[in-house]
Structure 1
Amino acid sequence: MAMPEIVTTMLGASGVGKTTLLTSIYEQFSKIQEVNFEFKPDSATEEILQKNLQDLQSMGDEIIATEGTGGIAGTSAVAGPESLPEFAFYLSKTERQLLKLSFRDYPGSYVLKDNPVGREYLKGLLKKSAAVIISIDTPAMIEPHKLDPLNSKNWDLLEGRSGRWHDAKNHPEEILDLFKAAYTRLKEPKLVILAPVKCETYVQTSESAKKLLGCIKDKYSPLLKFLSDPSRSNNIAVVTTPIQTVGCLFFSRYFIEDFNKPQFVFKKNSSMDTYNPKDNDHLLRYLLSFLLKRHNDQQIYKRSPILSAVRGVFQQESMFEQAIKQFVKTRKTTDGFTILQGNELLEV
């Protein structure tokens, strides 16, 4: 029997931080002492993530985050979707690979409505993916419209308007349309993870994290309403996982060079601060919670050959199952981490 593969779509536009998110999960998992299994990338994935990790570890005291051209190195120049690489990780026990987790990335332009080829690819990817991680540019979602007085004469033009750049950076309408096309007549459960990144500024206290959660519910209310429709809600779990992808950079300000392309500035609190991502492993804990629950659902497995194969792995490797179960039990449920829908699909 071929090794079962679980596909997860990294959903987000250019410059949102999809690859940085994966890099931080990869880096942080290697430091966790509690686990009794391995989560390792294949050689091609490790090469990409190691390069990205080196860039993150060498960041200066202040950076300007400009809009990127593609999710992973070189994807903007790839001829077509069929040539896109994948981020492949293997869950292993005692050096035996048991389960493949495949995270699919793509040029961020695929999300846009003026890219019909890219959008068709994404619709197909969403249909076959067990889980979807929506990377959210947090400052763009939250920060009001305040232009830098040193760079613009229009400082008071639209002051106080929350999330001025949310639509331009996160494209929530385009993402909703993709779900509407892909999540019709669902035949098996799906997991949707809303993952705010670059959120260090907004999660330092429980109160601020609560406000961040409220903002997500507000800005993504059309998507949440669609996912919670009674015709499909029993098959969809939705969680929020605020990810501090670098841990040491905090939103400072933004300024406008091109009216349609704001430049977001992030600074360290101290020049001694270093790359230190936080809470990234909890996203993985929720994903594995979802798979572990599927292991115990006989009816779902009868309809899904892939999940049936996953169930076979857990049945044959009881020590592996126990290691995963122990890992997912410690997932965070506070400070912005919450199950918005489908708790029964994530019960351990």
Structure 2
Amino acid sequence: MTTPERYTIEVSMLGPSGAGKTSLLASMYAQYSDLIGATDLELSPVGDTAVKLSDAVARLKALSRSVQVRDSVDGTAAAGLHRYLIAVGQKGKKPRFTLRFTDYAGGLLRERGGGGVGEQVQQALANSPVILLAVDTAALLEQDGLYHDRINAPHLMYEQIKTLLQGNEQHRLLVIVPLKCEKYVGTEAGAHHLLDRVREGYKPLLDHLAHQEVRSRVGCVVVPVQTTGSIVFSSITESAEGRLQFHYRSRRPGAPYAPVDTDQPLRYVLRFVLNVYRQDRRGFWRETVDEMFSTDDALRAAVNTFASGTVSRPGIRVLQDHPRLGR
């Protein structure tokens, strides 16, 4: 199953190493088939995407059964770029477009002018109408955000996105996704506090997006996601050499894999990219055929039915709306 490049819509994962970008993709994949239900929407993994994401889901489920988990942060970039293809269309019919999720070792963002994988990362970001910005929630919140700059690199994220928007009129959606947030969003007050800290921790970026020269072409949503639902932050240790280790624990022995809100980023993404496809990518001839046979109306109805499942609860917030969110 191949799709012409113009019908392939890039979705880039932005964020530091260890924030949980791959886990986010895997958890979205695990949930969507359970949530599509009776809608007329079909999301089909292409090539080895199903195998790679299924393996990642298996690791998440095994993690949920662990009593203690250590998450090391050493500040280095393991070379690697991974792409996951999801074809989108109506059930039983040929896909209309393909989502290409690009995931990479966070440190690759620091590679400049060296070609290779780092250059591919920059190209993927430049071509992405949708960017998922992963946030390590413990680094953002613990010890009053002591490790936020070191781990989440908010100023680097700001510079990356600012550069993308310079001289480029492409409409974009930024979905900020706090991950590993199980400890913090269990209460309404905790979820509100997390949202406030996102606003503070990424203030230069959010202020830039709200500028009158930028606001009309960029939407922004904050969606905390619990990729396991059962593993919560415990503590942070730092070695004499300055190597950080974040410690997590199971809520209780044998706690089940129970992800929460992993579908929500995908609902926003699909609503936005459907409009990117319809307005920017279809082309004259496909648009003409769609109008003749009402295929566009059917796909739009299917996506909108799925996207209507976005929830309104503390911590989830559309910070900056955009017409292509079609809300």
- With normalisation by structure 1, the TM-score equals 0.82
The 8 Å contact of residues 5 and 306 in structure 1, kept in 2 or not, is answered as no
Distance (whole Å) between structure 2 residues aligned to residue 7 and residue 258 of structure 1 = 41
- Bigger shift: residues 123-132 or 202-211: 123-132
How far 1:288 moved relative to its partner? 1.6
Equivalent residues of 2:7, 2:281 under 8 A apart: no
- What SS is found at the alignment partner of 1:58? helix
The equivalent of 2:306 in structure 1 is 327
Give the equivalent residue in structure 1 for 2:86: 89
Please, which of 206, 223, 226 is the counterpart of residue 205 of structure 2? Answer: 223
Number of equivalences: 316
Structure 1: which amino acid aligns with 2:206? L
Q: Which runs of 5+ in 2 are unaligned?
A: none
Structure 1 partner of 2:153: 171
More displaced 10-residue stretch of structure 1: 119-128 or 193-202? 119-128
8 Å CA contact 2:131–2:173 kept in 1: the answer is yes
Shift of 1:222: 0.6
- Greater RCO, 1 or 2 (C-alpha within 8 Å, sep 6+): 2
Alignment of 1:42 with 2:50, yes or no, is no
Give the Å deviation of 1:338: 0.8
Partner Cα distance (2:198, 2:79) in 1:
33
Written as runs of structure 1 = structure 2, the 5 A alignment for 1:43-62 is 43-59=47-63, 60-62=66-68
| Aligned-residue offset at 1:307 | 8.0
Structure 2 Cα separation of the partners of residues 221 and 201 of structure 1: 23
1:140 is aligned to 2:146: no
Contact 2:216 2:322 in 1 (8 A): no
Equivalent of 1:105 in 81, 100, 103: 103
Q: Which residue of 2 aligns with 1:154?
A: none
Identity of aligned residues (%): 26
User: CA offsets per residue over residues 91-148 of structure 1, 9 Å max, x none?
Assistant: 132233222011011222112367865665444322210100000000001000xxxx
Of 40, 52, 73 in structure 2, the residue corresponding to residue 67 of structure 1 is: 73
Query: How has the CA–CA distance of structure 1 residues 277 and 35 changed in structure 2, closer, same or farther, with 3 Å as cutoff?
Result: farther
Aligned to 2:256: 274
Task: Write the deviation string for residues 75-100 of structure 1: whole angstroms up to 9, x where unpaired.
Answer: x345xxxxx44111111322332220
Question: Residue type matched to 2:131 in 1?
Answer: V
Cα distance change on mapping 1:28 and 1:263 into 2, 3 Å: same
1:316 to 285, 295, 302: 295
- Name the amino acid aligned to 1:63: V
SS in structure 2 opposite 1:224?
helix
TM-score scaled by length of structure 2: 0.87
